[in-house]
Amino acid sequence: MTVQTLKLGRERFVLLKEKDYRQLKAKADAKPARKVRKPTFQERQDAGDVAEAKRRAHEPALPYSELRKELGLG
């Protein structure tokens, strides 16, 4: 592969044959897709905690003053 560099101002450019450019582009496009990693135990645990918090957010809540009366604290 024949490569020449060219400097214009502060920028450097690389000149190469179109055939070589197409080969490099084909190699880059042929790369396998990125592997999807399995979530860790902690990530699964966090996701479960978030789901449970969302479910509990819709439950009726008991005001603190009523709770104190039920427990006989005031």
Q: What are 21's two structure tokens?
A: 């450019």
Contact at 8 Å (CB) between 50 and 39?
no
pLDDT reported for residue 12: 93
Instruction: State the pTM of this model.
Output: 0.37
Which sequence spans correspond to the domains of the chain? 1-29
Distance (Å, whole) CA 58 – CA 63: 15
Q: Which among 38, 31, 1 has a CA at the least distance from the CA of 16?
A: 1
Residue 1: which pLDDT band, with cuts at 50, 70 and 90?
Answer: low
Count of C-beta atoms within a 10 Å radius of residue 16: 13
Residue 53 has pLDDT above 80, yes or no: yes
pLDDT beyond 90 at 48: yes
9-33 residue pLDDT tens: 999 998 988 998 899 899 888 877 7
- Please check the confidence at residue 49 and state whether its pLDDT lies above 90: yes
Residue 23 CB coordination number (10 Å)? 13
